[in-house]
Chains A and B, each alone.
Chain A
Amino acid sequence: MTEFSTLSIKETISSLKNKDFSVSELVDSHISSMESGRELNAFITETADIARKKALDCNQNYLKGEEKPLEGIPLGIKDMFCTKGVKTTASSKMLENFIPPYESTVTQNLWNDGAILLGKLNNDEFAMGSSNETSFFGEVKNPWKNTKDNFTVPGGSSGGSAASVAAGMGLASLGTDTGGSIRQPASFTGTVGLKPTYGRCSRWGIIAFASSLDQAGPITRTVKDCALLLNSICSYDSKDSTSSQKKIPDFEKSTDESIKGMKIGIPKEYETDGISEDIAEYLEKGKEWLKESGAEIVEISLPHIKYALPCYYIIAPAEASSNLARYDGVKFTHRVDAENIIDMYEETRSQGFGDEVKRRIMIGTYVLSSGYYDAYYLKAQKVRAMISRDFKEVFSKVDAIYGPSTPSTAFELGDKKKDPLEMYLNDVFTVPVNLAGLPAMSVPVGLDKENLPVGMQLIGNSFDEESILSIASCIEKSAKFDLNPNRWWINE
């Protein structure tokens, strides 16, 4: 059975076209992977019935030769995407029983292209976290254990999305990335994760964390699969005022483009900021691969990037504090009955939200308060503009930026849970990209000494996902990473 679940989407589609196996067989195989992988806790809601039913239609479409681009491909969807008629929780007690009467634009695009919903994936509560330990539905385990045979975190917030793909439960998944929530878990699990340019994907129907930073994106086994999904999910959406009308290129094509003559910048700030030895080694190795492929490596500097993390931890909580105000117990959420409306609000929100969410709501409320607004929020917006300018300047000289995705590989479960600041530091390389609204991705390059995957980050200019896909493809070929963790979770 498992050989189905280690295929790429590209390979799967050609096998389906070849009638090597049917969509139903494929889906059954993934359902069985999903069921036998429950110890990983990657799924909050399994939708096996929906998947089996849709598979029947997909079989027909292949028989009739009317298959759509992603016909029959089973996918896991992060529980931040509203799915019509299927429970969508944001991994929060607050939305424990919320069933949306609408489908997010991005997932609708996937279903329109023939993809199949396998289940809803665990994540950090309201996408706030870097280890998938803040979920009301429990932590997600990384399929990769370290050499001490200890459990590691899959990263976050799209921990379930990354873990499920690494474990072969679903051919790919969707995540959301507000400060690194796709790229960091992708790098922790040896998967490919891409955050598109802000505005490429509609945010309509995605539960909002920080509206000016949130973007949907794919987590896949290969770079080509990443491009395939990207082609499906990107669209202009009149229901999202920040959605872009820019033409959407053929991303799959970019994965075959040569990078010869491309200028790739290495920010000196990314080489010195306390990255682990193994990651530093891979960083160097990567430079060699890129040079061998004919790219030119250029030293660059992003002087204001050191302020990105504090800037992000003002803007994101500020927006979150407002976005999460709607969860008040009056409608569609968890409610704690009380004597009066104020007590009802307080009890509902005290019980409905977890600690990390509460922490960010409090930070956000504080930085927007009168008297503090100028010193925090307004200043952070100025810093944000400076960071954008840094990138803009750099992109007048280079085609893409290359650097690490994270300072370290996956850490052990519970390791950083008690120290939020240390946890926040995990996002140091990913956060600046969200502040500038740029596209970026993480590509697996190998394993470190602890036998844990290492991911490298590629950052593109605004609306230039194509360049980073070409470069990622090239790195993928050189690295020859094998996404095949030891399947300890299967008791046989």
Chain B
Amino acid sequence: MNKLIKGETGDWEVVIGIEVHAQIVSNSKLFSSASTKFGGEHNTQVSFVDAGMPGMLPVINWVCVEQAIRTGLGLNAKINNYSIFDRKNYFYPDLPQGYQISQFKQPIVGEGSVTIDIDDKKSKTIRIERLHLEQDAGKSLHDQHPEFSFVDLNRSGVALMEIVSMPDISSADEAQSYIKKLRSIMRYLGTCDGNMEEGSLRADINVSVRKPGDELGTRCEIKNVNSIKFIGQAIDYEARRQIELIEDSKEIDQETRLFDPKKGETRSMRSKEEAHDYRYFPDPDLLPLSFSENIIEEIKSELPELPDDKKERFQKEYSLSPYDSNILVSEIEIADFFEAVTKGRDPKIAANWITGEFFAAMNKLGFNIADSPITIDNLSKLIKLIEENVISTRIAKDVFEIMLENNEDPEEIVEREGLKQVSDSGELEKIIDNIIANNPDQVEAVKLKPKLIGWFVGQVMKETNGKANPKLVNDLLNDKLN
């Protein structure tokens, strides 16, 4: 059942379709050899083609074509080995040619799908309508001079994939899951770094509302939303706005809107009447894009394992829960990290440590997994120490804290600090006997309330500075007190 929003006149259904603009990972631009590197000085990565100089001609960068094919395959989509580049004509200062080279009627990738998880048990398929290649525009700079606006063309001509979903998304949560999943797939494939802050991934969101079972309502398009959080906010706001309008017996204008992250609102950008007529037509400077089936097959054969397959394998191979698997496969770096750490170790302990202590520490430090101060080897050793009962989980946490400081070998830490777990039952028995002898009142109490055994465990831990093997302590106490 779709998630519904309550209005004054009853329940409403939200219908969402998303157009994602994903910047292709490539060294040079879609039709020129200029660099695509982020953060360069203004206008230092601009070829004559990117600047729209007279007589300059575009030449396709095949790396970008392969990336689009790769992404299409990752979206289980039909690859069109004959597609056309069109010109999308409009005037804007950051569009030096006066047109954007895009694909209109015949895109390189046709229908596909992305599966998102609704909860631990349920998943949903979001259909993809198409994926096409196009150029990015430059960037207008309005804060550099009191009288003039400037234009930075570094981004002009950078390759983008526009990925268009069908209106299969029915809540802000689903929209967020969809974007996350899409980003994860593209990162697995190495076709888009998914960095939303740098603008490598932007979303245009089409939102409409209707009473369940009704025809589709009038939609509004929210342009260029650039964070997962904002996507959620923008949809919630927009759906609510539309419901209120309709319930007030007002019309919804089909229009393009902008999301204002400061106010958490969407506002009108241009109406349908003001919409551009882009006058698309095939770009006569470029031949149709065609390639053989072999190229598709070759790329297919080199595809990495994608998140859905990996998740399934993790559940089977490591007996992990769907929940843990999901977290571990969300990013390829995490999945790889996990698989390296767990080699020869208990996967459940490894998964718990990575999704628990390790993630918490990384979050606190504001680090990505790539910046982890603890190496795979040392984390693996720590898990081995836990697994072999050399240290307890509690002690392990202390060891982990020390490791975070300087990636010290956990075995050395345990040795130096004398943290080895006491698993000598004779030694522990002596301590326990002493505690029992010295606390006859507690011994009586535990007979009435068995839960109080915890007090005895605590005493043993205190005596051993936490090094006692907790399981052994429990077993011994149970024997002696019952």
A residues sitting closer than 8 Å to B (CB atoms) are 81-82, 88, 90, 95, 98, 100-102, 104, 203-208, 210-212, 238-242, 318-319, 321-322, 324-328, 330-332, 341, 345, 365, 368-370, 373, 377
Contact = CB atoms under 8 A, between A and B. Distances in A.
Contacts of A365: 279
B196 interface: no
Given A327-B98, A345-B91, 20 more contacts: A82-B54, A100-B54, A203-B57, A204-B55, A207-B54, A208-B55, A211-B285, A239-B59, A241-B60, A322-B279, A324-B98, A325-B98, A325-B99, A328-B91, A331-B51, A341-B93, A368-B279, A369-B277, A373-B279, A373-B281
B10 interface: no
7 contacts: A82-B55, A102-B53, A102-B55, A321-B89, A330-B96, A370-B277, A377-B281
B286 interface: yes
B261 interface: no
Query: Interface centre among B53, B99, B284, by most A CB within 10 Å?
Result: B284
Contact of B55 (A206, A212, A242, A328): A206
Given A241-B287, A370-B279, A326 B98 contact: yes
Interface string B14-55: 000000000000000000000000000000000010011111
Contact of B98 (A205, A206, A322, A368): A322
A212 B284 contact: yes
A100 B91 CA distance: 23
B96 A211 contact: no
A369 to B, nearest CB: 6
A241 B59 contact: yes
A369 B54 contact: no
A100 B348 CA distance: 66
Interface of B: 48, 51-60, 87, 89, 91, 93, 96-99, 151, 277, 279-281, 284-287
A390 B310 CA distance: 58
Contact of A331 (B52, B89, B99, B277): B52
Contact of B54 (A98, A210, A318, A330): A98
A112 B420 CA distance: 81
A318 B281 contact: yes
Contacts of A211: 284-285
Contacts of A203: 55, 57
A59 B91 CA distance: 50
B89 A322 contact: yes
B285 A102 contact: no
Contact of B97 (A212, A319, A326, A370): A326
Nearest to B276: A370
A322 B57 contact: no
Contact of A325 (B89, B284, B285): B89
A204 B48 CA distance: 11
B23 to A, nearest CB: 23
A305 B297 CA distance: 44
Given A322-B279, A330-B93, A368-B281, A238 B55 contact: no
Contacts of B285: 208, 211, 241-242
A interface: dominant SS: loop
A436 to B, nearest CB: 15
Contacts of A206: 55
- Counting from the closest, the 9 A-B pairs by CB-CB distance are A325-B98, A212-B284, A368-B279, A211-B284, A326-B52, A205-B55, A207-B54, A326-B98, A82-B55
A272 B188 CA distance: 67
A188 to B, nearest CB: 26
Contacts of B59: 238-241
Contacts of A212: 284
Query: Interface centre among B54, B89, B93, by most A CB within 10 Å?
Result: B54
A365 B89 CA distance: 10
A241 B57 contact: yes
B287 A242 contact: yes
Contact of B89 (A205, A239, A330, A368): A368
A89 to B, nearest CB: 10
A239 B96 contact: no
A100 B60 contact: no
B286 A322 contact: no
B87 A322 contact: yes
B97 A325 contact: yes
Contacts of B98: 322, 324-328
Contacts of A102: 48, 53, 55
Nearest to A202: B57
A327 B151 CA distance: 16
Given A101-B48, A241-B60, A330-B96, A325 B91 contact: yes
A200 to B, nearest CB: 16
Given A331-B96, A368-B89, A370-B277, A104 B284 contact: no
Contacts of A205: 55-56
A342 to B, nearest CB: 8
B92 to A, nearest CB: 8
Contacts of A95: 54
A322 B281 contact: yes
A68 B280 CA distance: 46
Given A100-B53, A203-B57, A241 B97 contact: no
B57 A204 contact: yes
A208 B56 CA distance: 9
B397 to A, nearest CB: 60
B58 A241 contact: yes
A394 to B, nearest CB: 25
A325 B283 CA distance: 14
B393 to A, nearest CB: 63
B328 to A, nearest CB: 45
A205 B87 CA distance: 20
B279 A204 contact: no
A208 B98 CA distance: 14
B54 A239 contact: no
Contacts of B280: 368, 373
Query: Interface centre among B58, B281, B287, by most A CB within 10 Å?
Result: B281
Contacts of B52: 326, 331
Contacts of B279: 321-322, 365, 368-370, 373
A77 to B, nearest CB: 13
Query: Interface centre among B60, B89, B286, by most A CB within 10 Å?
Result: B89
Given A241-B59, A241-B286, A332 B91 contact: no
Contacts of B99: 322, 325
Contacts of A90: 54
A326 to B, nearest CB: 4
Nearest to A349: B91
Query: Interface centre among A82, A326, A327, by most B CB within 10 Å?
Result: A326
A104 B55 CA distance: 8
Nearest to A324: B98
A208 B99 CA distance: 14
Contacts of A325: 89, 91, 97-99
A210 B53 CA distance: 16
A116 B53 CA distance: 25
Contacts of A100: 53-55
B54 A208 contact: yes
Contacts of A82: 54-55
Contacts of B55: 81-82, 100, 102, 104, 203-208
Contact of A332 (B53, B57, B93, B151): B53
Contacts of A328: 91, 93, 98
Contacts of B151: 330-331
B96 to A, nearest CB: 6
Contacts of A324: 98
Query: Interface centre among A90, A203, A328, A332, by most B CB within 10 Å?
Result: A328
Nearest to B48: A102
A361 to B, nearest CB: 11
A205 B55 CA distance: 4
A83 to B, nearest CB: 11
A386 to B, nearest CB: 18
Contacts of B284: 210-212, 242, 319
Contacts of B57: 203-204, 239-241
